[in-house]
Amino acid sequence: MIPPRYVVIGSGIAGLAAAEAMRQRVPGAQITMFSDEPHPFYSRPGLAYLLRGDIPEKQLWIRRPEDLAALRLQRVHALVDTIDFLRREVVLLGGHRFRYNRLLIATGAQAVPPPFLPSPIPGTFKLDSLDDARSLLQSARRGETAIVVGGGITALEIAEGLLARKMNVHYFLRGDRYWSDVLDEVESQIVMGRLIHEGLNLHLNTQVKQLIVAKGQVAGVETQDGAMIPCQLLAAAIGVRPRLELAKKSGLAVDRGIIVNPQMQTSVADVYAAGDVAQIRESDGKLGSLDVLWPTALNQGRLAGENMTGAKRSFVKKTPFNVTQLAGLKVTIIGAVGDGKTKDLVAIARGDSESWRMGVQSWAVSERDDVNRVRLMVGETTIVGALVMGDQTWSQPLQRLISEQVDVTPIREALSKGSASALTRLAQFYQQWEQRQPKRSTIETPRI
Ligand SMILES: Cc1cc2nc3c(=O)[nH]c(=O)nc-3n(C[C@H](O)[C@H](O)[C@H](O)COP(=O)(O)OP(=O)(O)OC[C@H]3O[C@@H](n4cnc5c(N)ncnc54)[C@H](O)[C@@H]3O)c2cc1C
């Protein structure tokens, strides 16, 4: 019998997880992976740690050579230009064609170019890939000046990385505080205070009007309010978007991502998509949000690999869970954490000071040197989101309470009173709930 030919486009975590699932289920399959990145499989989230100098490059590799050998993957370093669905062939840049029986598109997402920099010029950077991180590191020179633009995690990771390389870093935020979509006022202030303390030049309400270019190289910026700031390096991270060029050119149905059903199938038979590039249309017809998170890409990739080899499983979206470092503080974000203005949600926050406030729009006021916080978003019967900053004792318990949608009605009243005793009540509730669950040795009971 001729072994099936599975083709994967993209060597990120979604592509790798799919290939591993396929190999496990069909040991004799021929699996070919095309990628325009030549590197071994690496951790993209790890790039921030590399930039800060926390880890050496080799710590990015996520599979051992023996695991890769066992995978028996044919890897081809090439850009796929288009897909000929009628002939079931991928077409490489340069015209080479390659047949598939089943195809996975896992082309990921990449940085949106900022309006003042529609195409890169020497001295300007983004952080999507290992090559980007390497070139940033090569260009980061002690004592020189860098400007970093963007209000989310990646921009901050770049700014901290360049600071760690002893550059003089100017960090531009469009609004009046850091990451206002996710952090509340106090959390933003904590992060910004620490950044300033670390030596970052923070510019609030500041946007680049235009770049100043000298001898074909970035030399500085003019801001919207007329200030001129010279620099030798400029990095921007204002958001990402799925890499859809290939899908669009080939005629697949797309919205903000490639539209797939919950089995990760696209609009074309035997063609699947997974990871940052995919957007799920739920069975009720509604288009889902774009997750652009590592665990989601991994789970979708694995599921696509299983379904391409005959399984019929549907993707079940898990509670979003993200652990990150902001200004040296560990921050865990679980579920829905927004600005607290969502109807029918009670927002509760706790600072180290143990002072609690309650109410949809009012947040705990922490002491000045407070860095340890727990913020809860409580819906009608369940906790729907939480942010844990600093001390992570509450991170796992809250992840469980949120992802398992535990009914907190018995303590909602106590939580909504917003006194310091609310957290004590939550801890008691959690302990009792946990005792009723099957034993899990890794979960710590919070101490308060
Ligand atoms: C700096 C940084 C920090 C991050 N930190 C976190 C974090 O802390 N937590 C978290 O959950 N997520 C984080 N992410 C996001 C996470 O890395 C992504 O969600 C995840 O890597 C997506 O995996 P993927 O396989 O879908 O796509 P990718 O990893 O982007 O892989 C796509 C691959 O396809 C290749 N490709 C694209 N088009 C073509 C083509 N036409 N032909 C051939 N090859 C092609 C690309 O070169 C790439 O190798 C971070 C991302 C970055 C960049």
Each residue's pLDDT tens digit, 38-83: 999 999 999 999 999 999 999 999 999 999 999 999 999 999 999 9
Alpha-carbon gap, residue 209 to 228, rounded angstroms:
10
User: For residue 197, what are its two tokens?
Assistant: 């303390």
User: For residue 156, what are its two tokens?
Assistant: 């901050």
Phi, psi (rounded to 5 degrees) for 105: -105, 115
Distance 125 CA to ligand 1 centre (A): 17
Please, what is the average pLDDT of the chain? 88
E strand residue ranges, 224-351: 228-230, 233-236, 240-242, 258-260, 271-273, 278-280, 321-326, 329-335, 346-350
The whole-number average pLDDT for the span 249-274 is 97
pLDDT at 365: 29
Nearest-CA neighbor of 246 among 282, 280, 273, 281?
273
Alpha-carbon gap, residue 407 to 428, rounded angstroms:
14
Does the pLDDT at position 443 exceed 90?
no
Alpha-carbon gap, residue 53 to 51, rounded angstroms:
5
Distance 109 CA to ligand 1 centre (A): 6
Instruction: Tell which wins on pLDDT, 131 or 184.
Output: 131
The whole-number average pLDDT for the span 383-410 is 89
48 lines ligand 1 (CB under 6 A): yes
pLDDT at 182: 87
Q: What percent of the chain has pLDDT above 90?
A: 70
pLDDT tens, residue by residue, 10-45: 999 999 999 999 999 999 999 999 999 999 999 999
Distance 354 CA to ligand 1 centre (A): 39
The whole-number average pLDDT for the span 100-118 is 96
- Share in percent of the chain as helix, strand, coil (round to 5): 25, 25, 45
Place of tokens 């998509």: 273
* Nearest ligand 1 atom to alpha carbon 301: 25
pLDDT tens, residue by residue, 266-310: 999 999 999 999 999 988 889 988 888 898 999 999 999 999 999
**Residue 392 DSSP one-character state:** -
Distance 269 CA to ligand 1 centre (A): 25
Kindly give the pairing relationship between strand 233-236 and strand 124-125: parallel
pLDDT confidence band for 374 (50 / 70 / 90): confident
Evaluate whether 140 touches 44 at the Cβ level (below 8 Å): no
Adjacency order of strands within the sheet including 168-172: 124-125, 233-236, 145-149, 168-172, 201-203
Nearest-CA neighbor of 361 among 380, 382, 345, 374?
345
Nearest-CA neighbor of 274 among 238, 253, 303?
303
Evaluate whether 331 touches 325 at the Cβ level (below 8 Å): yes
Q: Which of 107, 110, 244, 322 to mutate to test the pocket of ligand 1 (most atoms within 8 A of CB)?
A: 107
pLDDT at 144: 97
Alpha-carbon gap, residue 358 to 350, rounded angstroms:
10
pLDDT at 267: 96
10 lines ligand 1 (CB under 6 A): yes
E strand residue ranges, 64-105: 74-77, 80-84, 89-92, 97-99, 102-105
Distance 105 CA to ligand 1 centre (A): 13
pTM (two decimals): 0.89
Lowest mean pLDDT among 80-94, 166-180, 255-269, 421-435: 421-435
pLDDT confidence band for 349 (50 / 70 / 90): low
Alpha-carbon gap, residue 106 to 276, rounded angstroms:
8
pLDDT confidence band for 447 (50 / 70 / 90): very low
Alpha-carbon gap, residue 375 to 420, rounded angstroms:
13
Does the pLDDT at position 208 exceed 50?
yes
pLDDT tens, residue by residue, 133-145: 999 999 999 999 9
Nearest-CA neighbor of 102 among 264, 271, 247, 267?
271
The whole-number average pLDDT for the span 154-168 is 96
pLDDT confidence band for 351 (50 / 70 / 90): very low
Alpha-carbon gap, residue 106 to 191, rounded angstroms:
34
Q: Which of 44, 110, 241 to mutate to test the pocket of ligand 1 (most atoms within 8 A of CB)?
A: 44
Nearest-CA neighbor of 344 among 392, 403, 384, 391?
384
Nearest CA to ligand 1 atom 44: 35
Does the pLDDT at position 358 exceed 70?
no
299 lines ligand 1 (CB under 6 A): no
pLDDT confidence band for 420 (50 / 70 / 90): low
Nearest CA to ligand 1 atom 15: 293
Nearest-CA neighbor of 48 among 277, 235, 247?
235
Q: Which of 157, 240, 294 to mutate to test the pocket of ligand 1 (most atoms within 8 A of CB)?
A: 294
315 lines ligand 1 (CB under 6 A): no
The whole-number average pLDDT for the span 231-241 is 96
* Nearest ligand 1 atom to alpha carbon 14: 25
Lowest mean pLDDT among 27-31, 117-121, 415-419, 423-427: 415-419
User: For residue 126, what are its two tokens?
Assistant: 């983004």
Instruction: Tell which wins on pLDDT, 11 or 437.
Output: 11
Nearest CA to ligand 1 atom 33: 10
45 lines ligand 1 (CB under 6 A): yes
Evaluate whether 395 touches 321 at the Cβ level (below 8 Å): no
The whole-number average pLDDT for the span 315-339 is 86
